[in-house]
Structure 1
Amino acid sequence: MRAFGLALSIALLAACATPPAPQAPTPPPVDTVALVAAVRAAAGPAEVKDELAIQPLRDPYVEDLRKQAQRAEDEHRYADAATALDQALAIVGDDPAVLQERAEAALFAADFEGAERFARQAHAVGAQVGPLCRRHWATIRTVREHAHDPAGTAEAQRQFDACRVAAPPRY
């Protein structure tokens, strides 16, 4: 009788237990390669004849590191690309192109906070016009879209549009 009472108590306690709450569906994985491709495509070609674009002189060692980062990216070794760009930034921490490339490397790693931080820093020290400027704001727009921030997305789009400045006439 005692065993029956114990079994009945256990059964009643089990019946009182609430079922586990349904788990929220996991979001689909982010295609970071497509995000970076969209950022670069949105900026348009780097060499545009009818638009103002600033091209600074480059340190040869920094250029070698940028090429190393590009090779690593081509081989899908995104962490190695980020490392090479970090080394370049240790030399020229205020180069907007290297900062933008580092922002894109952060996007490859799905580091959205880092991507926005590098892109904003690149814009702050850059010429704020031309294709590189559009890459900064396309990166920020992508991050804001990912964060479901419509106001931030709209502001990034407005800044993106302001980057297009006609080249001065040449005589």
Structure 2
Amino acid sequence: MSNLIPTVKNGSESNSGLGFKSLPSLSSWMDDIINKSFGNEFMSNFNTGITLPAVNVLDNNEEYIVEMAVPGLKKSDFDISLDNQMLSISAELSTENDDVNENYTRREFGYSSFKRTFSLPESVETDKINAKYEDGILKVLLPKRDEAKKKPLRHIEIS
């Protein structure tokens, strides 16, 4: 898995006005020691980035729409719940692969999960919330109450 947040190893490559290079950060220095001692194979199995899915929140006249990019999951992997105007969207996925060869057995497994929570405005009609998952995008539709919907512009004549 690739890093989601780019990091600079061994400090910055740019020189300051005095001609000094900045010192490497402690975490960069530790990464270099571990990679030299154990090789890149040791660290390649650790996730060092943030794995929360990207979210868009749209506001139109009729509803709010929460879109979440979560490819590779099934509908059954999600848990969407509402508790006191707090919307929670979470998913949990675990995988196991068995590979049997004549001299060894290798078992690989993985686990990933996330949970995002959103505080809903009072204008959401909570009884009519629904969700759909299609092409790797989860959409949660949050309909607005009638009184919260935007009214058309009305021109007022001056008497």
Q: Could you tell me the TM-score, scaled by structure 2's length?
A: 0.23
Give the number of the structure whose residues are more often helix, by fraction. 1
Q: Could you tell me the TM-score, scaled by structure 1's length?
A: 0.22
Which has the higher relative contact order, 1 or 2, with Cα contacts under 8 A spaced 6 or more apart?
A: 1
